[in-house]
A and B are shown apart, each in its own frame.
Chain A
Amino acid sequence: MKRFGRSSAGRSGKLFLAACAAASLLTGCHGPMAIDTFSVPEKFDSSRNMEITFWAKNDTNKTQTKIYADAIDSFEKLYPNVKVNLRLYTNYGDIYNDVITNIATRTTPNVCITYPDHIATYKTGANVVVPLDELIADEQYGLGGTELAFDGPSVSEVIPQFLEEGKIDGVTYAIPFMRSTEACYVNKSYVEKLGYELPEVLTWDFIWEVSEAAMEKDKNGNFLVNGQNVLIPFIYKSTDNMMIQMLKQLNAGYSTDGGEILLFNDTTKQLLQEIGGHAQTRAFSTFAVAGYPANFLNAGQCIFAVDSTAGATWMGSDAPLVDISESKLVQFETAVRMVPQADPENPQMISQGPSVCIFNKPDSQEVLASWLFAQYLMTDDVQIAYSSTEGYVPVTGKARENERYQDYLARKGEDNKEHYSVKIEAAELMLDNVEHTFVTPVFNGSASLRDAAGHLVEDTVKSARRKKPVDEAYFSSLFADTEKLYRLDQIASSSGGKKELGPLPATSIALLAGLAVIWLLIGCYMLTGYIKKRKTENKQG
């Protein structure tokens, strides 16, 4: 089976198109006419038919797409006048790209799975994304509202941290759908074979040490630990997350809440130097360079595989989903750990996963229908079903406390399908560590900053592998090139952040003073003309 017969888009995406379109949204040139600000209608009109579109992301997983379809079916039974059209995507980048393109033509979907980083760009268009605070609080149709046709969660039943993650500049633009974090999936058998005991909390130092130790070969060139001629002891899937978490754990700069870029600092450089060193020895690699961590892990060719908890069903000898042939599968004990830490006493891990936003439309009833559907995605049935497909966790306390979900967790390891132990352990990792999760600041351009963080790691890894010098000159050039590639200098100036710009230059003051004088003169001229005209009229009258 093929999870991902790789296409170019899988590794590079088409985000520049989105960036260009986003730039046009920012400048407003040839942009769409703005739709009026949405306000909640007094009553939901169930007498007329409406169609809404839902753009959804799945992990190339048929069970997930079926859950979307079932949710739509159930919703349409509750609201027979609303038809929901589903469009499926398998990566967030494509959704982002398509939404940006459709903002310009006013053909956005009604409801869309997304990341807050992306919403920050969408909302640079006027009234494009619906602010949700009024809807959330609405007595009739808000969370837990009196007029809902379903048993949805109340505000207090949504995990507060996840609800908070949908806020941009204090306004809620997204409600959470699912949450995940990253996990380190470990070949415990190989760690022990190498003479190490696997700690409960992994440190970077431990992983680097074991990874280097694993590089020892026999006289035939095969690695001692696995007896094969292929081994990449440590593979990281999302290198943007890798850098972001490393910096957070060290309390080093990434960005301010207002959008000031702090990524290019000395700590980043030190981290890259370390990463580069291990890339040079081939003890470390990345998804973009080598392939899926799961494939190497399951073939006994990787010891530490870091990937999303939402990828847990692919991890381990008994994984229900595999992309390599059975003959290549190796039996080993799989352990699930949080991502490596700088300070095990104070762990920090990323909170990620899909959120839902609603796009504004001229018809407020259509927007209300969209909100009802978005809210429906937070009902227990949808939350429990979808979270059980991968190492996701429900975003409401209501779903988590539901007997069915508790039963699902309790049956961990009962089978290698729905109750696959690695998948449920990955979910438990998130459930047990919500207070240790964090998100990065959201602002217009934060999506590009995230990409830039990953690019620093990828470029360093490639350079080190290609035996190029990874030194001070390299980092100076890498930082400058990355800032330019991802237009981070432009982001800083257009994000509307709180950056102090200092006093106006003298030329600007002179120009503004000149403009004021001109306007004053025009005003005087018009006033004089008006007075003269009135005097003439008075004389004639």
Chain B
Amino acid sequence: MKKYLAVMMALAMTAGMGMAAMAAETEAEADDPKGEGVMTYEEFMNAEVDDEVVVEAYVQAKQAWYEGNESRGTDTATVYAQDHDGGYFFYDMECSAEDYEKLVPGTKIKVTGYKAEWSGEIEIADATFEFEDGEYIAEPVDVTELLGDEEAIAAYQNQKVAFKGLTVEAADDSGAAFLYNWDGSGTDGNDLYFNVSLDGNTYSFTVESYLCDNTTDVYKAVKELKVGDVVDLEGFLYWYEGINPHITAVSVQ
């Protein structure tokens, strides 16, 4: 009887969670209806690499703008964006200087390009975009518990994420808390690399200098970190042969 009750309760809970998830999904769809010919996040993720894709998403951060990118023959921008279901990375998307100014966080855009994968990073390449009405700024998703589970955390690729209660570890044999470039071969202004640990496992995080240069708070804050500091972090879940979070905010607990 106890067994039967437990099974029934488990079924009820599962059904309840499923219904809640469906409700959340419906709510998200209602908040974020897709236009004609536009893919959902799921359809985008199911598309093959090199397929033409069309998505609608909201800019979360701008990484770089290049005047007259020769490989495209136009000005280009690289942008992190999200809809209510997932994150996108628009790499070298055609974008004028004037439009780049308008790409403030929250701006809705419709992007047409090709799905690409570079060293594991899923992105949309050779894209063009148009502005649409709508605004959405995503809250960071706490993925601390998924660290170490590459398959599970991959579902959050390119999203704004948060990590809580990580401990700063030495970045090299000298005991430095951070390095300019992955091996310390850089100087101020280059990417910052630092190690953090959780439950005995160590992970490498980055302040990407194009996304957050050496004038930003996060760049300065990481330079102040000390080995042993316990920190909360926010950033975008970039991928380079595994997770390589690009950090945009850090605070010492």
Chain A residue with minimal CB distance to B115? A466
Report A-chain residues with C-beta under 8 Å of the C-beta of B118: 6, 11, 289-291
Q: Do A8 and B66 form a contact, CB below 8 Å, given A3-B182, A458-B71?
A: yes
Does A428 lie at the interface of the complex (its beta carbon under 8 Å from any beta carbon of B)?
no
Chain B residue with minimal CB distance to A484? B73
Q: B6-14, B29-37, B132-140, B185-193: which one contacts chain A?
A: B185-193
Report B-chain residues with C-beta under 8 Å of the C-beta of A458: 71
Count of inter-chain pairs, beta carbons less than 8 A: 125
- In contact, A289 and B116 (Cβ under 8 angstroms): yes
Does B240 lie at the interface of the complex (its beta carbon under 8 Å from any beta carbon of A)?
yes
Chain A nearest CB, measured from B196 CB (Å): 14
Report A-chain residues with C-beta under 8 Å of the C-beta of B169: none
Assembled-state Cα–Cα distance A15/B184 (Å):
26
Select one of B67, B91, B116, B185 contacting A8, CB under 8 A.
B91
Chain B nearest CB, measured from A156 CB (Å): 35
Does A451 lie at the interface of the complex (its beta carbon under 8 Å from any beta carbon of B)?
yes
Does A60 lie at the interface of the complex (its beta carbon under 8 Å from any beta carbon of B)?
yes
Does A29 lie at the interface of the complex (its beta carbon under 8 Å from any beta carbon of B)?
no
Residue of B70, B126, B183, B209 most packed against chain A (CB within 10 A): B70
- In contact, A5 and B208 (Cβ under 8 angstroms): yes
The B73-129 residues at the A interface (CB cut-off 8 A) are 73, 76, 78, 91-92, 114, 116-121, 126
Assembled-state Cα–Cα distance A65/B183 (Å):
11
Does A171 lie at the interface of the complex (its beta carbon under 8 Å from any beta carbon of B)?
no
Select one of A8, A295, A325 contacting B119, CB under 8 A.
A295
Chain B residue with minimal CB distance to A454? B71
Does B217 lie at the interface of the complex (its beta carbon under 8 Å from any beta carbon of A)?
no
Does A486 lie at the interface of the complex (its beta carbon under 8 Å from any beta carbon of B)?
yes
Does B251 lie at the interface of the complex (its beta carbon under 8 Å from any beta carbon of A)?
no
Chain B nearest CB, measured from A389 CB (Å): 11
What does the 1/0 interface line of A317-332 toward B look like (CB < 8 Å)?
0000001110010000
- In contact, B185 and A2 (Cβ under 8 angstroms): no
- In contact, A14 and B119 (Cβ under 8 angstroms): no
- In contact, B63 and A295 (Cβ under 8 angstroms): no
Select one of A5, A15, A20 contacting B240, CB under 8 A.
A5
Does A88 lie at the interface of the complex (its beta carbon under 8 Å from any beta carbon of B)?
yes
Report the count of interface residues on A (CB-CB < 8 A): 48
Chain B nearest CB, measured from A115 CB (Å): 17
Does A49 lie at the interface of the complex (its beta carbon under 8 Å from any beta carbon of B)?
no
What does the 1/0 interface line of A445-472 toward B look like (CB < 8 Å)?
0001001000100100010011100000
- In contact, B187 and A12 (Cβ under 8 angstroms): no
Select one of B69, B119, B187 contacting A87, CB under 8 A.
B187
Report B-chain residues with C-beta under 8 Å of the C-beta of A328: 241
Select one of A8, A65, A291, A485 contacting B92, CB under 8 A.
A8
Report B-chain residues with C-beta under 8 Å of the C-beta of A448: 70
What does the 1/0 interface line of A275-291 toward B look like (CB < 8 Å)?
00000000000000111
What does the 1/0 interface line of B171-211 toward A look like (CB < 8 Å)?
00000000001111111001101000000000010101110
Chain B residue with minimal CB distance to A15? B70
5 closest pairs, A vs B, by CB? A16-B68, A291-B119, A2-B182, A62-B185, A8-B64
Query: Interface of A with B (CB < 8 Å)?
Result: 1-9, 11-17, 19-20, 58, 60-62, 64-65, 87-88, 90, 289-292, 295, 323-325, 328, 448, 451, 455, 458, 462, 465-467, 481, 484-486
A-B contact pairs, 19 of them (CB 8 A): A5-B238, A5-B240, A5-B244, A6-B118, A6-B240, A8-B66, A11-B92, A12-B71, A12-B92, A16-B67, A17-B67, A88-B187, A90-B185, A90-B190, A291-B241, A325-B242, A455-B70, A466-B52, A485-B71
